[in-house]
């Protein structure tokens, strides 16, 4: 069994990569924190986390940026889709593929992206973080991301970093998310606890809230 995904979810994603087809996938978290996935929910407690999208393919534009079905997967800020849900649907193929590649729950990647950029691939923070997963220049360089505004490159680098953090802080999603925000060294210096920084504490609460409500 993978870090988050049950075998049938992996199988569905393998089918998606080879056949461009996905079944709808639902997630349920019981009171003990156990996570269950199915494509046939048995009660209303299950929430959809992966909706079957249209077939897609990646191509490169003349500028080298990714496209989906021949349409740019990035756009300048004024041209972005009107709603977050639309942007989420447009970017889902990239996010789902990265989640499968790095053994992550797609819902977790969506939660981080929603908290970091609100699905805006052109977002830039006042600290210099950029793109969907708000990669700093050093992090982008560390994971081979040449263009932080390219959705596919950005999500690839961010997913790989998040996967490394989950390996660094095994079985502790809260610390991995805290490290994504404030850096792994700060979490270690805080005695392997969420650092006593209001921004980081609020960030962890927000990401896990999005994730648990997915």
Catalytic positions, please? 116
Beta bridge partners of 60: 66
Would you say 139 and 161 are in contact if contact means Cβ atoms under 8 Å apart?
yes
Find where tokens 């997963």 sit: 133
- Where residue 128 falls (left for φ over 0; alpha for ψ -120 to 50; beta otherwise) is left
Radius of gyration from C-alpha coordinates of the chain: 17
Q: Which two tokens stand for residue 153?
A: 């490159």
Kindly compute the dihedral angle of the four CA atoms of residues 179, 183, 185, 186, in this order, to the nearest 10 degrees. -80
Alpha helices in the chain (DSSP H): 7-19, 84-101, 106-117, 137-142, 151-168, 173-182, 184-189, 198-212
Would you say 25 and 5 are in contact if contact means Cβ atoms under 8 Å apart?
no
């Amino acid at each position: 069994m993978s870090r988050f995904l049950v075998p049938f979810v992996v199988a569905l994603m393998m089918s998606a990569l080879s056949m461009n087809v996905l079944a709808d996938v639902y997630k349920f978290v019981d009171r003990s924190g156990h996570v269950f996935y199915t494509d046939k929910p048995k009660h209303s407690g299950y929430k959809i986390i992966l909706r079957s999208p249209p077939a897609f393919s990646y191509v490169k534009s003349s500028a080298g940026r990714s496209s989906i079905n021949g349409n740019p997967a990035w756009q300048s800020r004024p041209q972005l889709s009107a709603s977050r849900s639309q942007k989420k649907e447009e970017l889902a193929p990239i996010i789902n593929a990265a989640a499968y590649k790095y053994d992550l729950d797609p819902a977790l990647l969506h939660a981080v992206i929603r908290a970091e950029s609100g699905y805006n691939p052109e977002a830039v923070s006042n600290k210099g973080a950029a793109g969907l997963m708000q990669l700093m220049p050093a992090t982008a360089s560390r994971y081979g991301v040449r263009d932080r505004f390219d959705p596919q490159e950005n999500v690839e680098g961010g997913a790989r970093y998040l996967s490394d953090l989950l390996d660094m802080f095994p079985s502790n999603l809260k610390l991995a998310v805290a490290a994504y925000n404030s850096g792994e060294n700060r979490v270690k210096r805080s005695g392997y606890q969420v650092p006593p920084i209001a921004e980081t504490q609020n960030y962890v609460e927000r990401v896990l809230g999005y994730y648990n409500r997915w």
